[in-house]
Amino acid sequence: MKSTVLKKQFSLWGALLLLVVAGISFAASDVDLQQSPEVSGTAEGQIKMPKQQEKMALNYVNQPPMIPHSIDGYQVGKNTNRCLQCHGVEHYRTTGAPRISPTHFMDSDGKMLGEVAPRRYFCLQCHVPQTDAAPIVGNDFKPMPGYGQ
């Protein structure tokens, strides 16, 4: 009877260990933002992801700018950030892309760092691609006066 209980405990711990290892492996892998070339799926159907378009007007103070181009195939993970290849301080002059904001180099204590702060490294937490999709949920948001035009 003791061996049966031990076998069950051992198999439970083994399964738990396997889940932990799998979770760590998944979390450590780079996120690939690969999508089909021009279309992304939504609950409502299909939306077009334009290759390049004009910047959309901001609707409020300190709104993160939207991405005016497709990000299909971009990789953003702990080892690589495709956005910084054009927007990083070393590259923006030669690519013509807007430079990453100095606020992205501040840590949570307001100290300036020599590289992008970890909390600002994953661009898609705040910046999203522009699309021609209709809103999924309706709202009555109005831009601040002077914004959104």
Q: Which tens digits make up the pLDDT trace of 101-136?
A: 999 999 999 999 999 999 999 999 999 888 777 888
Side chain identity, residue 136: I
At 57 the pLDDT is 81
Q: Which tens digits make up the pLDDT trace of 41-72?
A: 444 444 555 555 677 788 888 899 999 888 88
Q: Which ranges of the chain would DSSP assign to H, the alpha helix?
A: 2-28, 84-87, 92-95
At 111 the pLDDT is 95
Cα dihedral 39/41/46/49 (nearest 10): -30
Q: Does this model's pTM top 0.75? A: no
- Listed by start position, the domains of the chain span 1-30, 33-137
Distance (Å, rounded) from C-alpha 129 to C-alpha 18? 36
Residue 9 has pLDDT above 70, yes or no: no
At 26 the pLDDT is 47
Distance (Å, rounded) from C-alpha 53 to C-alpha 65? 13
State which fold the 33-137 domain adopts: Flavocytochrome C3; Chain A, domain 2 (1.10.1130)
